[in-house]
Chains A and B, each alone.
Chain A
Amino acid sequence: MSRTNMNNFKALILAFAVTSLMTLGACSSGKGTDTLKADDSVGEAQTETAQPESVIEEDIKQAGARDPGYADSSSLVDINFDFDRSEIRDDQKEALTRNAEWIQNNGDTRIQIEGHCDERGTEEYNLALGERRANTVRDYLISYGIDPARLYTISYGEELPINPEHTEDAWAQNRRSHFLVTN
């Protein structure tokens, strides 16, 4: 755990905290009505925690996506997407251009561009879709004139919703590209 810097995961932790609360809340709801449920003894729960692994590959030289020191910047806003799409929506172009200006004017920063999806769809496909969203944004910023070496992408698929509700509004918020800044 030597490499874990909690600060880097601020946004992440927040999202996880919300989702875990939701999960706990939802847990009490109902048992299944499955064929073999009559056997109460089957499926007893005893959680054992395994030892942390003893060998960890530590060969991380790439800058950017794996550097510590990321933070949210209030100047950079999320860019939202349509369901199952990764093109920049017309109504998002102004916001993205403002983000691009800020990034241009803060030349000492590196930017992590995250791609996120709503909970609909499969985890496999959503991870790739989030990657595509992040890269569409990255391409836009490059075409704006930003040095590609300052931009790193990462997809979290549907894993880190900012709104954990199951509504159209929540889904629309969760389909986003989020920006993190590092110096």
Chain B
Amino acid sequence: MNREMNSNLVTRHFVSGRFIVRYFPVFLLTLFSVFSLFTEQAQAQRTDSGVWLGAKRVESTLMEVAVPDFRVIGKDTERLGEMSSRLINFDLQFTGMFKVNRNFDFMRKADLRDRKLGRVNYKEWRTLASNFLIKGEITELPDDRLSVEIVAHDLQTKKEFFAKRLTGGKSVVRRMIHRFSDAFVRRLTGEKGVADTRIGLVSRVRGRKELFLVDYDGANPQQITDDRSLVLFPHMHPELNKALFTTYRYRNPDLYVLDLDTNTRKPISRKIGLNSTGEWSRDGSKIVFSLSIRGNSEIYTCNADGSGLVRLTNSYAIETSPTFSPDGKFIAFTSDRPGAPQIYLMKSSGGGKRRLTYVGRYNDGPSWSPRGDYITYASLIDKGFDIALLEANNIEDKRRREVRQLTQGTGSNEAPSFSPNGRNVAFMSSRGGTKQIYIVNVDGGNLTRITNLPGGGYLPSWGPSR
């Protein structure tokens, strides 16, 4: 699938815009809204356990957008026109920056009137959305591929603001739409979106946990391993199409790296005992993981090829679940030296160890935001686990950190993983009966279940843009 994409997907910009100047106020407003959420929280409730509850989203600062069904030239047997507009809506809403119009019947009629008119009736669209109208057209090419042309109209200036043409096979039509969403958002805010990312996870196949990949919205689940034993703790490479994981295939929990393009694997660590919870540094040069040689789990680092093993912890306690800070200078990890697991910090050389979490009686599974502003982890606050966010700016500064809760007491919520732009978190939750994967914005908005896999969804790891 990936190869088909690379060879067939052609993108072309054919309109440019003076968008930054025009939308600078919107951009500022968006930034402001993110900050205002936190100030709002400061005034909001604090639970008995001393954790801030997530805040409501600020609706008034959202950009309004209308996306009618795409026009499909030819027979639309697969309802691609409808699928495309819903997908853009999903992508844009999930950024937390847009309010999408769902009056699809009205939009269909307005679109037909535009076609008769031979131009966009901006006045009419302004009654549906105040900022953007996004129209798309899908054409089947003679070689069976699809050409997708998408134009975003600025309803304020009544002009085309941004447009893209994408070409590719039918199997990548969702990716073409996701690519547009990312490009549009990037044009508007300068920030990289997550619409064209994938999430690694494990799911059961005939009872055995295997590595899977899904699109960030849960579409296209793909079984990657067929180890027929036990696969745990996938971690996606921050840039490359690779995954680290622990497999019991060779009768011991060993740490492997899998190249997802070639489907070839190489061992990183396979000592008798645990070789688990591996994560790359942001630049991909180092791997940090937990290893137990004769007994007790400790934190080690090594180079990306498994060479240069360095031991960083040495205690009677269990140390596990390490994660690098984005600059690679620090490692957050779990230690049960206080009697139950808590999140600790150390320099990536192993020095300066100190405890970070004092709220929650059992904290584990830290994931450091690529922006550096938070460490997220699973926290046993009330009955089940909830996803917590620990404020992590200037982590060398030893002040006590504020903790926010991303989820509140519905099922057990565990194994959080930050998206590559640090704006979202994927986690697993049992709230729907079985364990499945959910995604959420860091402000607590747009909580969405993305998988409904028969074998469940466990241990997500959010991968990079493709």
A125: chain B residues within 8 A (beta carbon): 318, 320-321, 334, 336, 341, 362, 364
The answer on a CB contact under 8 Å between B364 and A124 is yes
Cβ-neighbour of B223 out of A3, A31, A50, A153 (below 8 A): A50
The answer on a CB contact under 8 Å between B454 and A27 is yes
Nearest CB in chain A to that of B220: its residue: A46
The answer on a CB contact under 8 Å between B448 and A37 is yes
The answer on a CB contact under 8 Å between A124 and B433 is no
Total number of A residues with any Cβ neighbor in B under 8 Å:
68
CA distance in complex: A13, B204 (Å): 13
CA distance in complex: A37, B258 (Å): 33
Secondary structure at the A interface, as helix, strand, loop or mixed, is loop
Total number of B residues with any Cβ neighbor in A under 8 Å:
89
Contact residues of B between 287 and 338, Cβ < 8 Å to A: 290, 292, 294-297, 318-321, 334, 336
The answer on a CB contact under 8 Å between B448 and A124 is no
CA distance in complex: A16, B264 (Å): 27
In the assembled complex, how far is the CB of residue B100 from the closest CB belonging to chain A, in whole angstroms?
Answer: 9
Instruction: Tell me if A96 is interfacial: C-beta within 8 Å of chain B.
Output: no
Q: Which of A30, A47, A65, A159 has the most CB of B within 10 A?
A: A47
CA distance in complex: A27, B434 (Å): 6
Nearest CB in chain B to that of A13: its residue: B207
CA distance in complex: A156, B79 (Å): 46
CA distance in complex: A144, B342 (Å): 35
Instruction: Tell me if B217 is interfacial: C-beta within 8 Å of chain A.
Output: yes
The answer on a CB contact under 8 Å between B452 and A66 is no
Instruction: Tell me if A78 is interfacial: C-beta within 8 Å of chain B.
Output: no
The answer on a CB contact under 8 Å between A50 and B220 is no
CA distance in complex: A56, B262 (Å): 12
Q: Which of A87-95, A97-105, A129-137, A171-179 lies at the interface with chain B?
A: A129-137
Quick one: given A121-B362, A122-B385, A131-B295, are A39 and B228 in contact (CB under 8 Å)?
no
The answer on a CB contact under 8 Å between B264 and A54 is yes
The answer on a CB contact under 8 Å between B230 and A159 is yes
The answer on a CB contact under 8 Å between B334 and A124 is yes
The answer on a CB contact under 8 Å between B272 and A20 is no
The answer on a CB contact under 8 Å between B230 and A45 is no
B297: chain A residues within 8 A (beta carbon): 127-128, 131-132
Instruction: Tell me if A57 is interfacial: C-beta within 8 Å of chain B.
Output: yes
The answer on a CB contact under 8 Å between A20 and B207 is yes
CA distance in complex: A57, B450 (Å): 34
Instruction: Tell me if B201 is interfacial: C-beta within 8 Å of chain A.
Output: no
B276: chain A residues within 8 A (beta carbon): 124, 127
Contact with A along B13-48 (1 / 0, CB 8 A): 000000000000000000000000000000000000
In the assembled complex, how far is the CB of residue A121 from the closest CB belonging to chain B, in whole angstroms?
Answer: 7
Q: Which of B273, B294, B431, B450 has the most CB of A within 10 A?
A: B273
10 pairs of residues in contact across A and B, judged by CB atoms under 8 Å? A23-B434, A32-B438, A37-B448, A39-B90, A48-B220, A50-B225, A52-B263, A154-B253, A156-B248, A159-B209
Name 6 extra pairs, CB < 8 A, besides A32-B438, A67-B251. Answer: A16-B208, A27-B434, A32-B436, A122-B321, A131-B292, A131-B296
